[in-house]
Structure 1
Amino acid sequence: MKRKWKVGDLAKLTGLTVRTLRFYDQIGLFSPSDQTESGHRLYNESDISRLQQILSLKELGLSLEEVKSVLAGEQYSPLEIVTLQMERIKEQMKLQHKLLEQLEHVSELMQGRAPLTVEDFTRLLQAMKTGQEKLVVERRMSWEHRLDMLGTFLAEENE
């Protein structure tokens, strides 16, 4: 007999929240293969395999929409996925390297007991801010996309 997991059990098993699993179902990214007579979601081993693919693609930095396209066989080849991830990592590395250079500069000044200028601090703050802004923009875009999808879903449910 094949094993099946309810949504709460799958959440515990994977470390995801029940809310995340339900959201993935709502957007058509990850749906259970079965349900109980009372309507509870039931997931099997092949569902868990698909979830692993989803999480792996997310780990590569793909958005949920990009993950959905990849799994549907659209848009991205494996090489394009790897290339996209490499570009994202290179950009993150450039930002981190810039921040590291500024921190080293400030550290050298402090070790030499040299006075720090306003420009030293503003360059450091700018390097810190740039990295944070990029993360905030990416998160905001992700949330806006999710809210758009939720709005579409709710509109369809009301029709």
Structure 2
Amino acid sequence: MERYWKVGDLAKLTGLTVRTLRFYDQIGLFSPSGQTDSGHRLYDESDLSRLQQIVSLKELGLSLEEVKSVLNDKQFSPLEIVSLQMSRIKEQIKLQQTLLELLQHVSKSMQGKEPLAVEDFTELLQAMKKSHEKLVVERRTSWEHRLDLLGNFLAAEEEDWKSKED
């Protein structure tokens, strides 16, 4: 027996807002599989799978337009999307684990009133910088990609204008 959820129920189930789900529907990213006789959106289990993929791709840093393109072009299978997300989380955990171990070492030295070596601080600072740089690089790459898309769009619009003028 297939289960269905109305938009409010799906929002509660997933932690997303009704507004977000409606917006996703409005832009054609995530539409319900059905409707009630009174016009309420109805989502089924396959919709949940797509929503999971959307949220995963967003967490990987893709814009909504990029997410839509990836899903519509079937560039990645659901399993590949989950694998990408797992790889990213493992990388983040590794960076954070290294930082935690260094902080614990510094804390233990401080509690024991042992003098800290310059190397202790430099390792800690490097780990903090690496963690921060990873985030900055990901954001910069995402923005560069978005700017490229905008540039392509503007160039296409300019071509349209030129062709209409001729």
Question: Partners in 2 of 1:137 and 1:42 — Cα distance?
Answer: 42
What corresponds to 2:156 in structure 1?
none
**Alpha-carbon distance in structure 2 between the residues aligned to 1:51 and 1:120:** 47
Residue ranges of structure 1 left out of the alignment (5+ in a row): 153-159
Unpaired runs of 5+ in structure 2? Answer: 154-166
Q: In structure 2, do the counterparts of structure 1 residues 134 and 23 end up closer, same or farther at CA, with 3 Å as the change threshold?
A: farther
Please name the residue that 1:55 is paired with. Answer: 52
**Equivalents in 1 of 2:121, 2:99: separation in Å?**
12
TM-score (norm 2): 0.56
1:74 corresponds in structure 2 to 74
User: Alpha-carbon deviation of 1:99?
Assistant: 0.7
Deviation at 1:106, TM superposition (A): 0.7
Aligned residues of 1:54 and 1:67 also touching (Cα < 8 A): no
**Aligned position for 2:40:** 42
Contact in 1 for aligned 2:53/2:78 (Cα 8 Å): no
SS of corresponding position for 1:29: coil
Pairing 1:84–2:80 present: no
Check whether the contact 1:58–1:67 (CA below 8 A) recurs between aligned residues: no
1:130–1:20 Cα change, 3 Å: farther
Q: In the alignment, what sits opposite 1:120?
A: 120
Does the CA contact (< 8 Å) of 1:35 and 1:42 recur in 2? yes
Structure 1's 17 and 83: CA in aligned 2 closer, same or farther, altered over 3 A? closer
RMSD over aligned Cα atoms: 4.1
TM-score (norm. length: structure 1): 0.58
Does the aligned pair in 1 maintain the 2:102–2:124 contact within 8 Å?
Answer: yes
Which residue matches 1:107?
107
Corresponding residue SS for 2:40: strand
Larger Rg: 2
Task: Report the CA distance between 1:30 and its aligned residue.
Answer: 0.6
Rounded to whole Å, the distance in 2 between the matches of 1:3 and 1:103 is 48
1:11-50 correspondence runs (5 A): 11-32=11-32, 33-34=34-35, 42-46=40-44, 49-50=46-47
